[in-house]
Every structure is written in C-alpha cells, then in structure tokens.
Chain A
Amino acid sequence: MRRRTFLLAGLGTAGSLFVGWSLTPPRQRLRPSDTPQPGGGAVPLNGWVAVGPDGRVTVMSPKAEMGQGIHTALAMLVAEELDCAWSQVQVVHSGVDRIFNNIAAIVDGLPFHEDLDGNAGVRAVRWLTAKTMREMGVMMTGGSSSVRDVWDTARLAGATARAQLVAAAAARAAVPASQCRTDGGVVYAGAQQFTYGSLVNDAASRRADDVTLRDPKHFRLVGRDATRLDADATVRGTARYASDVRVDGMRYAAVAMAPTFGSTVQHVDKTGVVSRDGVRAVVELSGGKFGHLPGVAVIADSWWQAKQALASLTIEWTPSPHASLGSDGIMQQLRTAAAGTDGLPFRSYGGARDVVADSTRVVDATYEAPYLAHATMEPMNTTVRVNADGAEVWTSTQVAGAARTAVAATLELPDEQITLHQHTLGGGFGRRLEVDYVAQAAEIAKALPGVAVQTIWSREDDLQHDFYRPATVTRLRAALDANGAVAGIVTQSAGQSPFQALSKRLSIPFAAYAPDKTTAEGLFDQPYEFPALHSAHTNVELPVPVGSWRSVGHSHQAFCFESFLDELAHEAKRDPLQYRAQLLAAHPRARAVLDAAAKASAWGTPLPPTNDGQPQARGLALHSSFSSTAAAVAEVSLGADRRVRVHRVVVAIDCGLAVNPNGIRQQVEGSVVYALSAALYGDVRIEGGRAAVHNFNDYRPLRLSECPEITTIIVPSAQTPSGVGEPVVPVVAPAVGNALFALTGSRVRALPFGAMREATS
C-alpha cells in the first residue's frame, strides 16, 4: 500500500511541475524561437498570426488538422480579437516550436482523485515523466485538448496583433490609440483609416503591452456556426495530403513488414527484382525504437511498380517467438487477471473491497472488449529527402516534434537539421500519435541520398501494423443493500498499457513503475457518487502493439461501466434514467446533460415499430471524459438474422463554451459513426502471432445505409471550452448495449455486438 501511494503521488507531483508551467502567462507562448515563415509576403506579428500586404491574415496553427476542425476553431479565436474579416483568414500549419507544447493534454493526463502524499522518490518520478514527455514530444494534437490548450493564447495572439496594428495607425494619424477602433481588417484612427495590410510592416516592430481580451458577452464570431475554411479545396480535389506531395525526381516505396510479432528478416532473394521495370533499390530495414518494424522496401519510379516488385520478392522471416499467440488465449489470460484482486488502484475509498466481500447481495459481471484498429482513410505515408545538410520531411502527424526527432535519430542528425512539412491528416484518431511510419520512411530514403522517396502503406499494411486499442477484460462487482442501492463497487480491469509500451520502446528506465491512467480511465473518474469505490487495473504484458485509439481507455471502460450501471438499475427495478439521475445529484452539470439527452429522445414514451415491423427499444449512457460530459440515447431493433440495427442516436454534450457549434455537431456525428463501427463490427483478431485483418472486407466500417439519424444537443455553458473530438465516442456502445437489453432481455457483455444471439434469460 505504501508503494502505491508513492506512485500516484509521484505522478501528481510530476504533474504539478507541468501545471506550474501552464500557469506561465500565455504571453510567453506568443514569441517563437525562430521567426515564422508563413510565405506570401505575410509579416508575422507573433508566433500565431501574420498579415500580408494585401490584408490577408494567416493563422499559424500548431495543431494538426485531421478533420476535427481545429483550424477553423483556432482561426475563430484569433479573428475574434483581431477584428479582421472572416473572409480574409487562412490557416497554415506552424513549424515545430516549444511555444506550441500542449499543456492542456499533460495536465489532463494526471489521475484525478490522486491519493497525494508528499514523499521521497518523487524527484525520480518527476524526472521520468519529464523525460517521457520530451521523448514523445509535447507539441501534440490529441486528447481532445486543442481548443482548451489555445483558448487563452490564440485570443491573446489576435488581441496583441490588433494592438500593434492600432499603435501603428495611431502613430501615423497622430492620434492616441484610445481614439482608434478596428473593424473588418481596418483601423479607424481619428478621421483616417488604414487597412491592416498597409500597417503591418510598421506594426511588426511595435510593442503592445496593455492588452485585454474581449468580454465573451461581446463575441462576434465565437459561439456562432462557422463552416470550414478548407471546404473549397476539399470539394475541388485540390487539398494536398502528405501522399499528394510531388517533388521533382521523387521515387516511391512499398514495404513488407515483419508479418508476425517479433519476427525479422532472415533472407531476401532479390534475384530478378532489381532489374525489374522502374525499380531503383531494394532496402532491408532493421526497424527501431519508434515502433518501426524490420522488413524490406522496394523503391521504384512509381508506387505500383514498387508494389509489384515487392510482391515478386521472396522474403524469409525468422520464426516468431509468439507464433502461437491468439485472441482466445489472450482473452483467457486477461480474464484470469481481471478475476484477481491485486491490480494497481487508481481510486479507493469507503473500504469498497470489504463492503463487497462482506455483502450478501453482489452483482458480479465481467465485460470484454477486443483490439481495434484506427483505419484512417489515408493509409500511413511519409516522404523524406536526405540532403547533404540535413533532411526534408513531408508527412502528416499528430506529434510534429516527435516526428522530426524520429527522422533525426534515424538519420543520426540533430533535430535542427530536419525540416518538417506538416500536411492535413487523412484521419488521425490517435494512429498518427505514433511516428513509426515517419522513422521508417527516413530509413528507406537513406538508401537514395538526394532523392525524395515517398513511402506508402497499403491498407493491409495499415490494418496489420497498427498500434491497436488494447483488448481489455473488466470485472465489476457491486454490493447492494436491502433496497437495491449500491453500497460499494469494485472494478478490476486487465489489459496492456499503451503508455508503458511506448516507454519501453523508447528505452526509458523505470517505465514499469509509471502508472498509466488510460488503462483504467472511465472507471474511477466518473461523476456518480457511491458510498465506496475501488478501481484497480492489472497491466498484462503482451507482444501486440497498442496505442491511443479515439477516447483511449474511455472507449472500452465506458462500455463496461455504463452497461454495468444499467444492470444495477434493473437489479434495483429502477428506470435507468432515474437511477443515474439520483447518483448524479451532487453533479448538476452532468445531470443536465443526462436530462437533455432524455428529453430530446422522449425517454419513457413508447417507440413505434420500425418500417419493417420490428420492435424498437431505447438505451441510455452517460460518460465524462476530456473535461466534458456526454449522454446518448440509442434506438435499436433487430433485422434479419438478428442483426443489430441502430436507427437513431440522440447525443447531449456539455463541452464548456461552444466555440463553433457547427464543428461540435460534426464531431458528435463523427464520433457516433466511428464508435458504432467499432461497437457493431470492430474486432482485430490475433491469430498465429499476427493481426488477422486485411482490408475493409474483414475490418468492416459502418456504411452510409447503416448510419443512424443523429441528433445533437449542445448544453449551453459559459465554462472554458473542453474536449469535443473524443467524449462522445465512449457513450455509444453502452447506449446500444443497454437498448439491446431493453429490447431482448439479453445482456451482451462482449464487443462487438454484430448479431444478437437468441435470448437466453
């Protein structure tokens, strides 16, 4: 018990180091180490905003655009304060700079309710955490943290730039700055007016000291629907993803990676391949610590030639030490660990374990979730050119700094000699938090110095060499009193730790001692009040690569917890809505979200049969994550062969102040579809030491005809904006599962749902 206290306290203290950092005035995040080069003659006024002579405003975004709409939201924050016309704004990806380090995500990574106890050894853990964050690179787009992270700084960047422009105009018109006003990219100074473009050169050298941010009551852009700034390029096909990069003299690479976990190249027979049409080189890859695998790449004049040549290679792989590893065995191993009682507790109060042990009425249920792949629409790819004085990289990543470091380390060059061009991501979902594909592209391009080599994965490569959402088994036990009310809950989950896997790959010492909040999040950090709770997790080491999958631990633990809560409601013979409402009595914000979803879905009223005459039922779930709370009501029926059909999903979300309501609705819709794909079909089976999925035929995404009607309620809030991209994902599977129980009386405790088995109870 002593050691556990130390561990959690340690992370808390390491966290406070970063909290202190986050309290650094946002002003200090305005000045970059290097002068930005936004291009087009635009003059930077700080690290975030540049204005061109034509008045065009360029916002430099440290956040990667991957469909979540951050470029539009960030531009709204800047433009709100800058007083430029919305039509003047464009957004580009910024360079890598420490001012862009993501503080919100680090603070969010701390376990809530930590059992703090100042302690010896804390410094060691602080060092460990700091080193890990440095290695990962904290210029990160993820953890639903972007708007939170830039909320103050982006507005300040706009306000400061505006003040500089006003100062320049005031000097020119010889009036006090207080007699100037701004609107639509123009400064009105006394009787004169100046466009921002005409002032920018002068403004760049001026200081702006007394800058105050606009009162939210007077927001003109923030809080109103904005459509995406990048929409036109998308509908014309002119958007440029990393795989669309074209560089003079470039070549293309296709790659074969170790097919089974832990195997490597034994022998490659290159006979006949190097003389094939267009082939430039065959490269053996050693792989390395960034998670890039051993393998063989073929570089050719076109990707199709490379792919064909690769297929004609005979590659012998060393036998996998995990050749017998399969999903059945893995799940059995996880079930055994979840049945134990020795997990690391993330929260423990009220003597929950004793309460459950001593109770005569215990509900005991075990839930299971499989491995999942991200399956971004754009397969992994990166272009690298190794030059005499460094290297140039064209890629799309959620961690630009770490990607640069991965290339630098692979080429044995300092970071500063690597120029990274960030492109819009053809989907991220956490997959592009890994830099394996970037390091690999560097290893391949090294074979042809001076030549830009674009390495592109096939869909099969993408699905078989992902960093999967960990498979997890969670056992939940609740002691009930005579009235059926909860006296205490004990959760014991088991699965791999993505954080530890990453730390070990990067050879960070003591990694095994760092608790990974993501393993148990969703169980110990929910707003419900129970008299006693004990939430523990056992890390099970397995050779399957694991990583962050949209909403991370919440993605599966919400299914376990919210389904279990539904069981408890039924055990207590209570309506699931009323049951949750009572547990949320002390949490009015969460309660309001629950009520909003219930009201919009007409919870409690009868549902008519479907068009084909099948009965429908509703299911409810609520979950807090990424500082936001979401609730969903799903309406489901069974089709032919008892196939699960979801007709409508009503979602309510409290994500603080809604910067761009339209963007939030997009993310809610996207979250429902992404989560429903996983809930209905997602299952990366492991067979023979490898992932047994290949393409969209056996890793099935939801399709348009299966997409439910989606209704979004944004609960009004004046609080600081919180997460949007992920918090809705967790509620979807439990809402569907709870609806299936209401419909059939059968409780499905393992994902995916697929087709319902015949009712057994």
Chain B
Amino acid sequence: MTDRNDLPGSAPFMLNINGAAVPVNASADTPLLWALRHDVGATGTRFGCGMALCGACTVHVDGAPVRSCSTAVRTVVGKQITTIEGLTGPVADALRQAWTTVDVAQCGYCQSGQIMSAAALLATTPSPTDADIDAAMDGNVCRCGTYPRIRAAIKAAAAQLSTVRSSA
C-alpha cells in the first residue's frame, strides 16, 4: 500500500480548529466536514446532504456560518474554524441553556448545525426579529420538526443575553 502522503494533491494542512493548530492529512479539495469528522475526530459536525442544502454541517469560519460539506480545506487555511465542540462564550452558554430549557431537540442530529447558525445570528443581531430568525435559520433542515422550539430558544437566549448586558 502506497503511503498516501507521497501522492500528489495530498498534503498536511495546518488548520486552526477551536483555537488549536491541527494538522490535517487530506487532499486540498477534501471538504472541511470530512477533515473534521475523519482527521480531527470532531464528530459533532454532521453530514446531512453534501450540497449545502441542509445545514447539519454548519461551522464558523472567522465567525461566519459556513457549510463545511461544501468548503474545501485549502480555502480555510489560516482562518479560525469553530465547531460545536469549541463553541464557547456568553452567546454559546445562553443558547445551550435555552436549548435545554425549551427542550428543543428530538433526534438531535441536526442540532449542532442549528446552534452554530443561531450563534452566528446572535453574534451579529442580538435582538433578532422573526424575519431575522427566518433568514438565518432557513438553511438548517430539521426533519423531527423542532422549528417552533428553535425559534423560541433563540428568543429566550437573546432575552437572557439582553438582561445580562443591561445589568452589566
């Protein structure tokens, strides 16, 4: 068996994932999703469609929500990649708390992506309207039908963050 590192198109990339430099041994066109799941072992980022149609694989690249199934690893070298496992801070805490209190999840498979999209929304829009939530979350499919609770949890997290801000 040939050592795959000797083959063309295959190079170790240094990616910055959740604040750590991580070598990824994959070809340049490998989707970030598979690098995360396979090379890094960050399996909280999930495969749903492979065509950026469902959002299950959503991660943050320099803070912006990105569908990792359709993002080649070579395009994210030198950028800050955040996955569900590395999502921290007040927004993350508020969302996780709201998600648990509202009891959003059913099968849970899509929820990493839902939370990553919601976190990106609240980072730029602290008090989202229903239309803001529609726009930010419409790319994230949930077949269990948790949409009403996702909306409620985002509002609850936004309200909690707003209370923290006003009391600070």
Assess whether B143 is interfacial by the CB under 8 Å rule.
yes
Assess whether B138 is interfacial by the CB under 8 Å rule.
yes
The residues of B that contact A426 with a CB separation of less than 8 Å are: 46, 107-109
The residues of A that contact B56 with a CB separation of less than 8 Å are: 377
B103, A227: Cβ atoms under 8 Å? yes
A376, B44: Cβ atoms under 8 Å? no
Interface residues of A in 338-394 (CB under 8 A from B): 375-379
Tell me which of A412-420, A500-508, A703-711 binds B: A703-711
Interface residues of B in 5-21 (CB under 8 A from A): 7, 9-10
Could you say which of B34, B101, B143 contacts A701, with CB atoms under 8 Å apart? B143
B147, A673: Cβ atoms under 8 Å? yes
Could you say which of B41, B109, B115, B146 contacts A235, with CB atoms under 8 Å apart? B115
A67, B107: Cβ atoms under 8 Å? yes
The residues of B that contact A670 with a CB separation of less than 8 Å are: 106, 144-146
B142, A377: Cβ atoms under 8 Å? yes
B134, A459: Cβ atoms under 8 Å? no
Could you say which of A228, A277, A697 contacts B4, with CB atoms under 8 Å apart? A277
Interface residues of B in 111-168 (CB under 8 A from A): 111-112, 115, 133-135, 137-138, 140-151
A303, B34: Cβ atoms under 8 Å? yes
A669, B134: Cβ atoms under 8 Å? no
Interface residues of A in 246-281 (CB under 8 A from B): 246, 252, 275, 277-278, 280
A227, B146: Cβ atoms under 8 Å? no
B109, A246: Cβ atoms under 8 Å? no
Assess whether A239 is interfacial by the CB under 8 Å rule.
yes
Q: A377-B142, A459-B49, A671-B145 are in contact. Are A235 and B99 (CB under 8 A)?
A: yes
Q: A234-B105, A376-B143, A379-B47 are in contact. Are A704 and B100 (CB under 8 A)?
A: no
Q: A304-B30, A427-B109 are in contact. Are A695 and B53 (CB under 8 A)?
A: yes
Assess whether B84 is interfacial by the CB under 8 Å rule.
yes
Distance to closest chain A CB from B103 (angstroms) = 4
B108, A230: Cβ atoms under 8 Å? yes
Closest B residue to A456 by beta carbon equals: B47
Assess whether B79 is interfacial by the CB under 8 Å rule.
no
The residues of B that contact A240 with a CB separation of less than 8 Å are: 43
B106, A69: Cβ atoms under 8 Å? yes
A231, B109: Cβ atoms under 8 Å? no
Most buried by B among A65, A237, A695, A707: A237
A705, B138: Cβ atoms under 8 Å? yes
B4, A235: Cβ atoms under 8 Å? no
Assess whether A243 is interfacial by the CB under 8 Å rule.
yes
A228, B103: Cβ atoms under 8 Å? yes
The residues of A that contact B137 with a CB separation of less than 8 Å are: 704-705
The residues of A that contact B31 with a CB separation of less than 8 Å are: 304
Could you say which of A65, A235, A378, A424 contacts B46, with CB atoms under 8 Å apart? A378
A704, B107: Cβ atoms under 8 Å? no
Residue-wise interface mask of B (48-91) relative to A, using a CB-CB cutoff of 8 A (1 in contact, 0 not): 11110110100000000000000000000000000111000000
The residues of B that contact A526 with a CB separation of less than 8 Å are: none
Could you say which of B7, B30, B44, B49 contacts A695, with CB atoms under 8 Å apart? B49
Could you say which of A68, A238, A707 contacts B85, with CB atoms under 8 Å apart? A238
Please measure, in the bound complex, the distance between the C-alpha atom of A204 and the C-alpha atom of B96, giving whole angstroms: 39
The residues of A that contact B142 with a CB separation of less than 8 Å are: 377, 673, 704
B145, A243: Cβ atoms under 8 Å? no
Most buried by A among B10, B54, B108: B108
Q: A69-B106, A427-B144, A662-B103 are in contact. Are A237 and B47 (CB under 8 A)?
A: no
Closest B residue to A672 by beta carbon equals: B145
The residues of A that contact B46 with a CB separation of less than 8 Å are: 241, 243, 377-378, 426
Assess whether A458 is interfacial by the CB under 8 Å rule.
yes
Chain B: number of interface residues, binned into ranges: 35 or more
Residue-wise interface mask of A (287-312) relative to B, using a CB-CB cutoff of 8 A (1 in contact, 0 not): 00000000000000111110000000
Q: A302-B26, A456-B47, A669-B148 are in contact. Are A235 and B111 (CB under 8 A)?
A: yes
Closest A residue to B53 by beta carbon equals: A696
Assess whether A183 is interfacial by the CB under 8 Å rule.
no
Please measure, in the bound complex, the distance between the C-alpha atom of A131 and the C-alpha atom of B36, giving whole angstroms: 45
Assess whether A666 is interfacial by the CB under 8 Å rule.
yes
Please measure, in the bound complex, the distance between the C-alpha atom of A704 and the C-alpha atom of B1, giving whole angstroms: 48
The B interface is mostly helix, strand or loop, or mixed, namely: loop
Please measure, in the bound complex, the distance between the C-alpha atom of A722 and the C-alpha atom of B48, giving whole angstroms: 32
B107, A246: Cβ atoms under 8 Å? no
Distance to closest chain B CB from A312 (angstroms) = 13
The residues of B that contact A452 with a CB separation of less than 8 Å are: none
Could you say which of A234, A280, A303, A704 contacts B38, with CB atoms under 8 Å apart? A303
A459, B50: Cβ atoms under 8 Å? yes
Please measure, in the bound complex, the distance between the C-alpha atom of A458 and the C-alpha atom of B111, giving whole angstroms: 19
A696, B54: Cβ atoms under 8 Å? yes
Residue-wise interface mask of A (415-435) relative to B, using a CB-CB cutoff of 8 A (1 in contact, 0 not): 000000000111111000000
B51, A459: Cβ atoms under 8 Å? yes
A709, B138: Cβ atoms under 8 Å? no
Please measure, in the bound complex, the distance between the C-alpha atom of A30 and the C-alpha atom of B27, giving whole angstroms: 53
The residues of B that contact A459 with a CB separation of less than 8 Å are: 48-51, 53-54
The residues of B that contact A231 with a CB separation of less than 8 Å are: 99-100, 103, 105
Distance to closest chain A CB from B94 (angstroms) = 11
Q: A66-B107, A377-B110, A378-B46 are in contact. Are A696 and B9 (CB under 8 A)?
A: no
Most buried by B among A376, A426, A428, A710: A426
A673, B108: Cβ atoms under 8 Å? no
Assess whether A244 is interfacial by the CB under 8 Å rule.
yes
Assess whether A674 is interfacial by the CB under 8 Å rule.
yes
Distance to closest chain B CB from A630 (angstroms) = 15
Assess whether A232 is interfacial by the CB under 8 Å rule.
yes
Residue-wise interface mask of A (177-210) relative to B, using a CB-CB cutoff of 8 A (1 in contact, 0 not): 0000000000000000000000000000000000
Distance to closest chain B CB from A244 (angstroms) = 4
Distance to closest chain A CB from B127 (angstroms) = 18
Distance to closest chain A CB from B5 (angstroms) = 10
Assess whether A236 is interfacial by the CB under 8 Å rule.
yes
Closest B residue to A705 by beta carbon equals: B134
Closest B residue to A428 by beta carbon equals: B107
B27, A277: Cβ atoms under 8 Å? yes
Closest B residue to A227 by beta carbon equals: B103
Please measure, in the bound complex, the distance between the C-alpha atom of A66 and the C-alpha atom of B108, giving whole angstroms: 9
Can you list 30 A-B contacts with CB-CB less than 8 angstroms, sorted by A residue number? A65-B107, A67-B107, A227-B100, A227-B103, A234-B105, A235-B96, A235-B100, A237-B42, A237-B83, A237-B84, A238-B44, A243-B46, A252-B38, A277-B4, A280-B1, A302-B39, A304-B38, A378-B107, A424-B107, A424-B108, A459-B49, A666-B149, A669-B149, A673-B145, A673-B147, A674-B145, A696-B141, A704-B150, A704-B151, A709-B148
Closest 10 CB pairs of A and B: A237-B44, A673-B145, A67-B107, A237-B84, A426-B109, A67-B106, A670-B145, A705-B134, A234-B108, A244-B43
Given A697-B51, A704-B140, 20 additional A-B pairs, CB 8 A: A66-B107, A67-B106, A67-B108, A67-B144, A234-B108, A235-B95, A235-B100, A238-B85, A241-B46, A304-B26, A304-B30, A377-B48, A377-B109, A378-B109, A426-B107, A427-B109, A456-B47, A666-B146, A670-B146, A696-B53
Chain A: residues with CB nearer than 8 A to chain B? 65-69, 227-228, 230-241, 243-244, 246, 252, 275, 277-278, 280, 301-305, 375-379, 424-429, 456, 458-459, 662, 666, 669-674, 677, 695-697, 701-705, 707, 709-710
